[in-house]
Amino acid sequence: VSELGERALLARIRSRLGRAGGPSAGLVVGIGDDAAVVAPTRNAFQVLTTDALVEGVHFDRRWAAPADIGFRALAVNLSDLAAMGAVPRWALVSFLLRDQVSLEDVEGMADGLSELAIRHRVHVIGGNLARTSGPMVIDVTAVGEARPRHVLSRSGGRAGDALFVSGTIGSAAAGLEMLAAEARDGDAGRARDETCATRFLRPEPRVRLGHAIANAGAATAAIDLSDGLGAAVAELASASGCGVEIDAEALPIDPAARAWWEHAGADAVSTAMRSDDYELLFAAGKKQGGPLRHARSRVSQPPVTRIGVLTKDRRSFVLLRDGRREELPAGFEQWGK
Binding to a copy of itself, residues 53-82 (CB under 8 A) = 54, 56-58, 80-81
Q: How far is the CB of 77 from a copy of itself (least distance, A)?
A: 9
* Contact (CB, 8 A) for 331 and 228: yes
Which lies closer to a copy of itself via its Cβ, residue 30 or residue 112? 30
Piece of the chain touching a copy of itself by CB under 8 A; list 43-51, 65-73, 186-194, 289-297: 43-51
Which lies closer to a copy of itself via its Cβ, residue 197 or residue 214? 214
Q: From 334, 113, 88, select the one nearest 225 (Cα to Cα).
A: 334
Q: From 242, 223, 218, select the one nearest 291 (Cα to Cα).
A: 218
Beta bridge partners of 94: 128, 139
Which amino acid is present at 166? S
Size of site (CB under 8 A) for a copy of itself: 71
Which lies closer to a copy of itself via its Cβ, residue 76 or residue 318? 76
Pick one of 17, 36, 173, 328: the residue that binds a copy of itself (CB under 8 A). 36
Cα–Cα dist 238/155, whole Å: 8
Which amino acid is present at 100? Q
Q: In this structure, what DSSP letter does residue 41 have? A: P
Q: Per CB under 8 A, which of residues 285..304 are in contact with a copy of itself? A: none
28 binds a copy of itself (CB under 8 A): yes
Element (H, E) at 260: helix 255-263
Q: Is 67 helix (H, G, I), strand (E, B) or coil?
A: helix
Pick one of 22, 24, 40, 313: the residue that binds a copy of itself (CB under 8 A). 40
Q: What is the dihedral of CA 41, 150, 125, 70, to 10 degrees?
A: -160
Q: Per CB under 8 A, which of residues 203..242 are in contact with a copy of itself? A: 222-224, 239
Q: From 88, 111, 99, select the one nearest 14 (Cα to Cα).
A: 111
Q: Per CB under 8 A, which of residues 298..337 are in contact with a copy of itself? A: 333-337
Piece of the chain touching a copy of itself by CB under 8 A; list 13-21, 51-59, 64-72, 171-179: 51-59
Q: Per CB under 8 A, which of residues 121..180 are in contact with a copy of itself? A: 125-135, 137, 139, 141, 143-144, 146, 148, 151, 153-155
* Contact (CB, 8 A) for 72 and 55: no
275 binds a copy of itself (CB under 8 A): no
Pick one of 63, 71, 90, 261: the residue that binds a copy of itself (CB under 8 A). 90
Which lies closer to a copy of itself via its Cβ, residue 242 or residue 268? 242
45 binds a copy of itself (CB under 8 A): yes
Sign of the C-alpha dihedral, residues 170, 120, 288, 160? positive
